[in-house]
């Protein structure tokens, strides 16, 4: 079993829909990162969380430390949100990555 599990693996949505991507982890962590990767490879850090909730524009990230679970929400999704979203947790001294969720948003 992977230490970081993401669901779903693939997600298709219509423009305007509310999107939720989930991340569960089995190790003790001090921080969790949500990353976005567009075709071509570049990665952008969306959020770094150690507790609670963060919001940036249409993106919201939450984390429940007790349940070892985090969610990334996208409100009013747009085709430009199409990308792979990756959850990564900091385990003592290194990052452990989930396998990613591929999101496609159609107009």
Partner 1 sequence: KAGVTQTPRYLIKTRGQQVTLSCSPISGHRSVSWYQQTPGQGLQFLFEYFSETQRNKGNFPGRFSGRQFSNSRSEMNVSTLELGDSALYLCASSFLGTANTGELFFGEGSRLTVL
Question: Using CB under 8 A as the criterion, which residues of the chain lie in contact with partner 1 when the complex forms?
Answer: 30-31, 33, 35, 40-45, 48, 50, 86, 88, 90, 93-100
Smallest distance, partner 1 to C-beta of residue 30, A: 6
Smallest distance, partner 1 to C-beta of residue 104, A: 18
Of 77 and 103, which CB lies nearer to partner 1 in the complex structure? 103
Of 17 and 90, which CB lies nearer to partner 1 in the complex structure? 90
Closest to 93 (Cα-Cα) out of 26, 2, 1, 30: 30
Of 30 and 75, which CB lies nearer to partner 1 in the complex structure? 30
Smallest distance, partner 1 to C-beta of residue 29, A: 9
């Amino acid at each position: 079993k992977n230490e970081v599990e993401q669901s779903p693996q693939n997600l298709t949505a219509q423009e305007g829909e509310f999107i939720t991507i989930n991340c569960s982890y089995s190790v003790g962590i001090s921080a969790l990162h949500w990353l976005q990767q567009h075709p071509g490879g570049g990665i952008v850090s969306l959020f770094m969380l150690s507790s609670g909730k963060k919001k940036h524009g249409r993106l919201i990230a939450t984390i429940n430390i007790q349940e070892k679970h985090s969610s990334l929400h996208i409100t009013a999704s747009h085709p430009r949100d199409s990308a792979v979203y990756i959850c990564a947790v900091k385990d003592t001294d290194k990052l452990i990555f989930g396998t990613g969720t591929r999101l496609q948003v159609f107009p």
